Structure 1
Amino acid sequence: MKVVRRIFDTSRKGQKIVTNIYSPPAASSSVAKAGSKRLTLLITHANGFHKEIWEPTLKRLFSYQSDKWHIDKAVAMDAYNHGDSAVINRSNISNEELSSWFENSRDILAVIRQLQEKKECASGAQTIIGIGHSWGASSLLLAEITSPLTFAALVLIDPVLHEAMKTEDGFIKTTKKRRWQWDDENAAQAYFEGHLFFKGWDKRCLDLHIKHGLEEVGGKLVLKCRPTNEAAVFLGATYSSSYATQNLWRVRCPTAFLTGETSLPGPPEYIRAIAQQMPDGRHEVMNGVGHLVVHEDPDRTADNIIRFFDGFAPKINSRAETTESVQFAAAAWAKL
């Protein structure tokens, strides 16, 4: 894959969003067949992680050849308080106590709007498919609920969707106390590889988490997403998740859900019921993994996404109204 780093404005003054824009290797960039749907992917990550976690999955997607669709590019975002975005925005997120998921959704729409203004997506035969995991998946839903037909389709991997969510004070306190700094890379590597939480991860994803999830500060390696920011996102679920769940009827694009077999935030039977109630929803369960589907098995994640794309392709059309839809969203968000 080829990758270019791009920085965009958030929906708020004084903050930035760092993205990686991935495109196929030169050898495969010319294989798009006449009549195939050209896709731009908008990628969002789970709470506590970062855009590079998606790279193994994206490599497999780019390697797949289809006569139905072709990926032109994938725009992977670091949320404003995660990854490289957090590094840039550090001065105004250090004391963050609550991060509403609506902020992440506003930023998704802001990035898409800026891409459109530069004619880098959703032009001609191109369409945008949102792919997100956990918090990132719920944020994509909030964006589509507010701005219908922003996306030609959505792939939502274990979104956090609940009719009502309670603030778990103990969980928030535990998150804030998690270890977040190490003396050097060897110490960090030993910690992550030996920690039970990371035991089931694909090695590629774990290596990427260590490489891109840490920064050097004062001679120490520290998490780019500080525990306080991760806790702020968890706290922000209280209203945001229920709003997304209660307004799924507003989603007008084809939507696919991929659930880990042993996921706790969204058990398969619960997500399956949600998918069945949507106008154009589908659901698949990935056996042998939990909530961190992308991290545990990126190859099978990609294979499921490929099957979703094959099903979406006949329904995907060029959406000339997308720009107007996203512009309309700015006024709608102001009322929330």
Structure 2
Amino acid sequence: MVLQSRAYTFDARPDYPLLVSVKRYWDPQASSDAPDALTLVWTHATGFHNEVSEPVIEDLYALHGLRIHDMWAIECPNHGASAALNERELQFGYEPVFGWSEYARAVHLVLTGQGTGVDVDFSKRRLVGIGQSMGAVALELSLTYFPRIPYHALVLVEPMVMNREAAEGPHEFLVNGARNRRDVWPSKPEAYKLLKSRGWKSWDDRVLRLFVEHGMRSLPTAEYPDKTEGVTLACPKRQEAASYEDPLGVARCYGFLKHGVKRVPTHIIYGAIDDYIPAFVKDDVIANAIGGKQHLASLSRVENAGHLVVQTNPKGLAEKIHQALRRHSVGPKL
């Protein structure tokens, strides 16, 4: 399989001030124009970028039995390539807090065609949103805007959703981790070497290489105007911390889930390892925010993975997504 891709810049100005990097993926040998073929829309976790989902996309395409038209990744406006596009705008009004509603708004604008740069009528597609962590929240909150996005289904991967008391725990850990992390390296090869030898060695190597390639950018930047050599994070750590500082996205999604699952068939996939999100938090979301797993299209767990399931076990995640999506689109038997 040779995965093809094309990058776009979505522009909804003057109605929305931030540009959005969007990427289309397709397999020329497997893409289907059948009326029931699915269009998958990917959203990422805090600190990442569009390309982080590529290994899951590749592994999902390798599993036969689904009719897939193509796949699209929509980036959070202060992450990845979008962060560079919005470098000046992000310095005022998006710190010290960057609301997750901004990501939801960006997803809504792209999928409802309220801008230029992506010449696709998504209203005619069978859309399935697949999001990890913050990206899952963005997909869910995109349901709260009008006009409605015609989702066929949603797949929420390790959604960062919890009640108010539980949210206080990971908040400080994540904010401090973002603020204190190293964010300058001599070069991309050096960055890869250092990250590979440390805590990031548990990541699928494909994901780590994509993070170095697309999650980093050359200096100088607005963050480091005087540094002329080396690389830094594409999503500045101040913006990553600002994203973690938003208390409203988590809370609003917690309160809205019981309505969202009634509007759109919703699959939740957690990692089998309860790390960033404790088991009691997941149980509370299913029992109280949703009202019981009977309201979900499916609930599953990925073995040998925690919150960073996209990064550590993309193949296992692809298998669970495949199982979920077979309920919505079954291709020819091979």
CA deviation vs aligned residue, 1:39-63 (integer Å, no higher than 9, x gap): 1111100000111111111112223
Residue 278 of structure 1, CA deviation: 6.5
In the alignment, the residues of structure 2 paired with residue 141 and residue 177 of structure 1 have an alpha-carbon distance, to the nearest angstrom, of 30
Gaps of 5+ in 1: 315-336
CA deviation vs aligned residue, 1:287-321 (integer Å, no higher than 9, x gap): 2111001111111111111110112348xxxxxxx
Contact 1:145/1:250 (<8 A) preserved = no
**Counterpart AA for 2:151:** F
Gaps of 5+ in 2: 220-227
**Counterpart AA for 1:80:** P
CA deviation vs aligned residue, 1:90-149 (integer Å, no higher than 9, x gap): 1121462101111110110001122899444231xx311100000000111111244555
Does residue 151 in structure 1 map to residue 155 in structure 2? no
Residue 194 of structure 1, CA deviation: 1.7
In the alignment, the residues of structure 2 paired with residue 250 and residue 312 of structure 1 have an alpha-carbon distance, to the nearest angstrom, of 21
Q: What is aligned with 1:194?
A: 197
In 2 relative to 1, CA 258–42 (structure 1 residues): closer, same or farther, beyond 3 Å?
A: same
Q: What is aligned with 1:222?
A: 232
SS in 2 for 1:93: helix
**TM-score, normalised via structure 2 length:** 0.84
**TM-score, normalised via structure 1 length:** 0.83
Query: Which residue among 184, 193, 196 is the counterpart of 1:181?
Result: 184
Q: What is aligned with 1:294?
A: 310
In the alignment, the residues of structure 1 paired with residue 293 and residue 188 of structure 2 have an alpha-carbon distance, to the nearest angstrom, of 47
Q: What is aligned with 2:168?
A: 166
Q: What is aligned with 1:72?
A: 69
In the alignment, the residues of structure 1 paired with residue 9 and residue 119 of structure 2 have an alpha-carbon distance, to the nearest angstrom, of 13
Residue 269 of structure 1, CA deviation: 3.5
In the alignment, the residues of structure 2 paired with residue 203 and residue 174 of structure 1 have an alpha-carbon distance, to the nearest angstrom, of 22
1:203-222 mapped onto 2 (5 Å cutoff):
203-217=205-219, 218-222=228-232
Contact 2:38/2:126 (<8 A) preserved = yes
Q: What is aligned with 1:16?
A: 19
Q: More deviation in 166-175 or 242-251?
A: 166-175
Residue 20 of structure 1, CA deviation: 1.0
Q: What is aligned with 1:128?
A: 127
In the alignment, the residues of structure 2 paired with residue 232 and residue 278 of structure 1 have an alpha-carbon distance, to the nearest angstrom, of 35
Q: What is aligned with 1:260?
A: 271
Contact 1:158/1:259 (<8 A) preserved = yes
Residue 15 of structure 1, CA deviation: 1.7
In the alignment, the residues of structure 2 paired with residue 58 and residue 286 of structure 1 have an alpha-carbon distance, to the nearest angstrom, of 16
**Counterpart AA for 1:82:** H
**Counterpart AA for 2:90:** I
Contact 1:130/1:151 (<8 A) preserved = yes
Structure 1 vs Structure 2: percent identity of aligned residues?
25
Does residue 245 in structure 1 map to residue 248 in structure 2? no
Residue 271 of structure 1, CA deviation: 4.7
SS in 2 for 1:247: helix
In the alignment, the residues of structure 1 paired with residue 269 and residue 187 of structure 2 have an alpha-carbon distance, to the nearest angstrom, of 36
Cα RMSD, aligned residues only = 2.4
Q: More deviation in 240-249 or 251-260?
A: 240-249
**Counterpart AA for 2:154:** L
Contact 2:21/2:82 (<8 A) preserved = yes
Residue 87 of structure 1, CA deviation: 1.0
Query: Which residue among 83, 86, 89 is the counterpart of 1:86?
Result: 83
Q: May I ask how many residue pairs the two structures share in their alignment? A: 304
